[in-house]
Structure 1
Amino acid sequence: MKLNIKNTFITNLPADPIHENTRRQVEEACYSFVEPKQTQNPELLHVSKAMLENLGISEADADSDTFLNVFTGNDIYKNTQPYAMCYGGHQFGNWAGQLGDGRAINLFEVHHKRKQWTVQLKGAGETPYSRTADGLAVLRSSIREYLCSEAMYYLGVPTTRALSLALTGDLVLRDMLYDGNAAYEKGAIVTRVAPSFLRFGNYEIFAARQDIGNLRKLVDFTITQHFPQLGKPSKESYLNFFKEVTNRTLDMIIHWQRVGFVHGVMNTDNMSILGLTIDYGPYGWLEGFDYGWTPNTTDRQHKRYRYGNQPNIGLWNLFKLANALYPLIEEAEPLERILERYKVDFEMKSLAMMRSKLGLETKAVSDTALIQDLEDNLFLIEIDMTIFFRKLSSFKKDSDSKVDGIQLIEAAFYDLKALKQPVIDKWQDWFQRYADRLRQENISDERRKEKMNQVNPKYVLRNYMAQLAIDAANNGDYTLIDELFQLLKQPYGEQPENEKWFAKRPEWARHKVGCSMLSCSS
């Protein structure tokens, strides 16, 4: 296995001078050198062929002991120095101080086909930033991260990627629900890949410590390496950098809303500076359409990170990033203008996204009311978001909308007995207005269906699907991991052979651990 290694991060940024792997406050440094923990009996469970190609690794190399040992932490690739990054963050709205890569270890950077990738192990052992944790990960959370990061890519959502999923052969003690019932679980490691794993918190920590010199070094490095189009570092490029991060963050969240994805833990240390979905912990997918739903048990009471609040939290987090960058700009007004623009752009982009989901290519003043009334109807009785929008693409504008519309979406209702006449009347009224609106479009039903099916997925990684793969894997059967991996590579395709996965959440999964709400436990 021959990789084109680059070391831009550790070459250009200050390192922690202490090399002991002890938990501590790390100051005036962007990272600490640390080696992964040796694993007892590593076993590769799955590899992404697409990511192999992106890194310039052959499938033959992926079958080698070298690949297995490097990507489970047992060997250090030649001429590389693994490291963990230092960052802080706001967690659930409160400043948490230093956080850092507590269970992630960056191996190296690979340059291939004019693209640069940072390769990172998640679950490879403690670092100076692990605080009271062991830095390890368990199989259930690793399966969820591995499958979801690749699934999001094929959905067209900006995301970090995953190269491989492996067992460590070690057992890891976890209290999954934080209820005092700790148990040993299979240990695992996911190899994560992204152009960079820099987060808002990397900049916040220096600003909080008033270490403006290193803040400037990190921002200059980020612009030079990841935003070269902005030109040389200057006050103007710092503002353009913040504007670019703001736009990317908003675009990412609009995609989340489009496909019904709920991150679950949008702390500032979990926000990518590149606008990538990062840190797949207690995430979830909307089953019934519900703006108030959060998959995170820790967030159950206040629901800060609920589906409908994700755009607002994105803005809140960007405000904290603006505060961190302020010492380099020393003017609040231009930063505030960018944040105000986020609000305007959200309304515009959200409306455009909903138009695309409804197959509307032109703009009409009535669209806002049509969309609002649709959302109101979706709240009337429990209805599956993914199935509803996918079925809607088959609606014909010249059909008997009062009858055909309800029949079309019938499979999306969780309880048909709850479909009483007042609810039916509201849906029939909406379908009549939708048919009238579609007749204003100069597009055939067939072409509209094709375009709607390009933005409304048929298959998403529902929590119960991931849990089935986890349950099987815990019993030594890893075949479902590959089945779901292949399914989710074509989320917009019909895949008639996989129709069983185009179905509502089974009733047994409604309150099952891992299927309804999850903790941050990994």
Structure 2
Amino acid sequence: MKLNIKDKFTTQLPADSNLENTRRQVTEACFSYVTPKQTSNPQLLHVSPEMLDKLGLTQADAKSEEFLKVMTGNKVLENTTPYAMCYGGHQFGNWAGQLGDGRAINLFEVEHENKSWVVQLKGAGETPYSRSGDGLAVLRSSIREYLCSEAMHYLGVPTTRALSLALSGDKVLRDVMYDGHPDFEKGAIVSRVSPSFLRFGSYEIFASRQDHKTLKILMDFTINQHFPHLGKPSKETYLQFFAEVTQRTLDMIIHWQRVGFVHGVLNTDNMSILGLTIDYGPYGWLEGFDFGWTPNTTDRQHKRYRYGNQPNMGLWNLYQLANTLFPLIEDAKAIETILEKYTTDFESESLKMMRSKLGLKTENASDHLLMQDLEDVLQVTETDMTIFFRNLGNFKKDEASEGLTIINEAFYVPTELLDTILQQWNAWFDRYAERLQSESIPDSERKSQMNAVNPKYVLRNYMSQLAIDKADEGDYTGIDELFQLLKQPYEDQPKHQKWFAKRPEWARHKVGSSMLSCSS
């Protein structure tokens, strides 16, 4: 297994001088050296062929004993120094202090075809940042992370990636719903890959400690390695950096809203500085279209991270990053202008995104009303978001009366469609048909364009849970079935038609299918 190792993070940034793997506060350092934990009986369950290729590896490499050992933490490659990153974060709106990589260990950086990738293990043992945790991960959460990382990529959503999924061979004790009923589960390790795992909290930790020296070192490294097009680090460059991070964050969340993805834990330590979706925990896709839905049981009461609030949370987190970078920029007005632009840009980009979902190529002053009315009627009765938008592509502008028939499959409880609701739907379809009359493209072309932005298949929680239930019994075929399905989320895939369906009733309140915790 030959890799072009080019470590920059550990060679250019200050390291923790304490080499003991003990829980502690780490100061004036961006990372701590740490060795992954040896496992008893590692077993490789799945590998992403595309990520193998991006790292310069082959299928033969993936079948080697060395690959298995390295990607489960049982071997450290020569001339590499695994490490855990130091960072802090705001969790549910409150400053939580030092957090860091409590269950993640970065192995090395690989350069291939002019791109740089950090390879990281999640669930490979404790680090100085593990606090009271064991640094391990279980199979159910590892399957969800592995599948979702790659599914999001193929949906066109900016994301970190996944290379491999493996069993550790060890049992891990977890309290799934934090209700005082812990049990042993299969341990697992996911190999995650990204150009960088830096997050907002990586910078916040130093600002919170008034350690502006280390903050500047990390900022300059970030710009030189990941934003070189901005030029040499300076106050103006820092400002441009913040503007680009703001834009990338906006773009990412627009994509989330487009496909109905809800992250579940938008704390600042889960916000990538590169605008990538990072840290897949209690995430989910909308079943019924609902701005108030959150998949996270911890967030069930206040719903801070609900679907409709994700744009606001992106902005809130950017404000925390702005406060962090202010000592380096020292221009409050310029920072405020960037943050204000996020709000106005989000409105225009959201409108643009919704136009694409409705197959509208031209702009009309009344479009926002058309979309507002649609969002209102979608929530009057439980209506599946994915099925609704996908089937809407079959609508013909000269057949408005067929609208309800076309989307009927999306309704969870058709008997709730009382006369007033039917009238509301029919009135909307009449307006939609009238609006389409001003579009010059034929229905067939509009359908193709809509199908390119409205996925047919998304990783619904019940789908993951079915694969997890199989895996718990030693059958890992469900993982590959979903992996292959989700590589083509916009294609019809007749052989996989069973997955183009509403959430089954049995999954409505099942743990893992509707209720998810941060337990992993």
TM-score range, shorter chain: over 0.9
- Matched letter for residue 360 of structure 1: L
**SS state of the match for residue 121, structure 2?**
strand
1:43 aligns with 2:27: no
In structure 1, what is the equivalent of residue 476 of structure 2?
478
In structure 2, what is the equivalent of residue 236 of structure 1?
236
TM value normalised by structure 2: 1.00
Give the Cα–Cα distance (whole angstroms) in 2 for the partners of residues 329 and 430 of structure 1.
49
TM-fit CA distance, 1:424: 0.5
**SS state of the match for residue 281, structure 1?**
coil
Q: Deviations over 1:45-101 (max 9, x none)?
A: 000000000000010010000000000000001110000000000000000000000
1:202 aligns with 2:202: yes
Give the Cα–Cα distance (whole angstroms) in 1 for the partners of residues 59 and 167 of structure 2.
19
TM-fit CA distance, 1:520: 0.1
In structure 2, what is the equivalent of residue 496 of structure 1?
494
Give the Cα–Cα distance (whole angstroms) in 2 for the partners of residues 521 and 415 of structure 1.
32
**SS state of the match for residue 434, structure 1?**
helix
Give the Cα–Cα distance (whole angstroms) in 2 for the partners of residues 25 and 365 of structure 1.
55
Unpaired runs of at least 5, structure 1: none
> How do 1:6-85 and structure 2 match up within 5 A?
6-85=6-85
1:348 aligns with 2:348: yes
Give the Cα–Cα distance (whole angstroms) in 2 for the partners of residues 80 and 132 of structure 1.
28
Q: Deviations over 1:314-333 (max 9, x none)?
A: 00000000000001011211
- Matched letter for residue 28 of structure 2: E
Give the Cα–Cα distance (whole angstroms) in 2 for the partners of residues 380 and 208 of structure 1.
45
TM-fit CA distance, 1:466: 0.1
In structure 2, what is the equivalent of residue 453 of structure 1?
451
In structure 1, what is the equivalent of residue 300 of structure 2?
300
Q: Deviations over 1:400-421 (max 9, x none)?
A: x12x000000000001111111
Q: Deviations over 1:260-310 (max 9, x none)?
A: 000000000000000000000000110000000000010010000000000
Asked if structure 2 preserves the Cα contact closer than 8 Å seen for 1:137 and 1:187, the reply is yes
**SS state of the match for residue 166, structure 1?**
strand
TM-fit CA distance, 1:342: 0.2
Asked if structure 2 preserves the Cα contact closer than 8 Å seen for 1:294 and 1:517, the reply is no
1:389 aligns with 2:394: no
Percent pairwise identity? 73
> How do 1:166-315 and structure 2 match up within 5 A?
166-315=166-315
Give the Cα–Cα distance (whole angstroms) in 1 for the partners of residues 186 and 108 of structure 2.
26
**SS state of the match for residue 46, structure 2?**
strand
**SS state of the match for residue 76, structure 1?**
coil
- Matched letter for residue 99 of structure 1: L
- Matched letter for residue 35 of structure 2: E
In structure 1, what is the equivalent of residue 428 of structure 2?
430
- Which residue, out of 439, 442, 445, partners 1:444? 442
- Which residue, out of 508, 511, 518, partners 2:509? 511
- Which residue, out of 380, 403, 413, partners 1:405? 403
Give the Cα–Cα distance (whole angstroms) in 1 for the partners of residues 37 and 337 of structure 2.
47
Q: Deviations over 1:460-493 (max 9, x none)?
A: 0000000000000000000000000000000000
Unpaired runs of at least 5, structure 2: none
- Matched letter for residue 133 of structure 1: G
In structure 1, what is the equivalent of residue 465 of structure 2?
467
TM-fit CA distance, 1:517: 1.8
TM-fit CA distance, 1:381: 0.4
- Matched letter for residue 481 of structure 2: E
Give the Cα–Cα distance (whole angstroms) in 1 for the partners of residues 180 and 320 of structure 2.
35
- Matched letter for residue 27 of structure 1: T
- Matched letter for residue 105 of structure 1: I
Give the Cα–Cα distance (whole angstroms) in 2 for the partners of residues 269 and 177 of structure 1.
22
- Matched letter for residue 496 of structure 1: P
Give the Cα–Cα distance (whole angstroms) in 2 for the partners of residues 500 and 57 of structure 1.
34
In structure 2, what is the equivalent of residue 119 of structure 1?
119
Give the Cα–Cα distance (whole angstroms) in 1 for the partners of residues 222 and 349 of structure 2.
27
In structure 2, what is the equivalent of residue 376 of structure 1?
376
TM-fit CA distance, 1:215: 0.2
**SS state of the match for residue 165, structure 2?**
strand
In structure 1, what is the equivalent of residue 413 of structure 2?
415
**SS state of the match for residue 5, structure 1?**
coil
Asked if structure 2 preserves the Cα contact closer than 8 Å seen for 1:23 and 1:129, the reply is yes
**SS state of the match for residue 137, structure 1?**
coil
Asked if structure 2 preserves the Cα contact closer than 8 Å seen for 1:294 and 1:300, the reply is yes
Give the Cα–Cα distance (whole angstroms) in 2 for the partners of residues 321 and 39 of structure 1.
38
TM-fit CA distance, 1:31: 0.1
Give the Cα–Cα distance (whole angstroms) in 1 for the partners of residues 493 and 59 of structure 2.
26
Give the Cα–Cα distance (whole angstroms) in 2 for the partners of residues 245 and 441 of structure 1.
35
Q: Deviations over 1:183-215 (max 9, x none)?
A: 000000000000000000000000000000000
In structure 2, what is the equivalent of residue 102 of structure 1?
102
- Matched letter for residue 77 of structure 1: L
Asked if structure 2 preserves the Cα contact closer than 8 Å seen for 1:405 and 1:428, the reply is yes
**SS state of the match for residue 21, structure 1?**
coil
**SS state of the match for residue 187, structure 2?**
strand
In structure 1, what is the equivalent of residue 329 of structure 2?
329
In structure 1, what is the equivalent of residue 365 of structure 2?
365
Aligned-residue Cα RMSD (Å) equals 0.4
- Matched letter for residue 518 of structure 2: C
Q: Deviations over 1:361-381 (max 9, x none)?
A: 000011010000000110110
Asked if structure 2 preserves the Cα contact closer than 8 Å seen for 1:148 and 1:280, the reply is yes
**SS state of the match for residue 6, structure 1?**
coil
Give the Cα–Cα distance (whole angstroms) in 1 for the partners of residues 368 and 318 of structure 2.
27
Give the Cα–Cα distance (whole angstroms) in 2 for the partners of residues 419 and 297 of structure 1.
30
- Matched letter for residue 117 of structure 1: W
- Matched letter for residue 40 of structure 2: Q
Give the Cα–Cα distance (whole angstroms) in 2 for the partners of residues 207 and 68 of structure 1.
39
TM-fit CA distance, 1:39: 0.6
Give the Cα–Cα distance (whole angstroms) in 2 for the partners of residues 366 and 185 of structure 1.
54
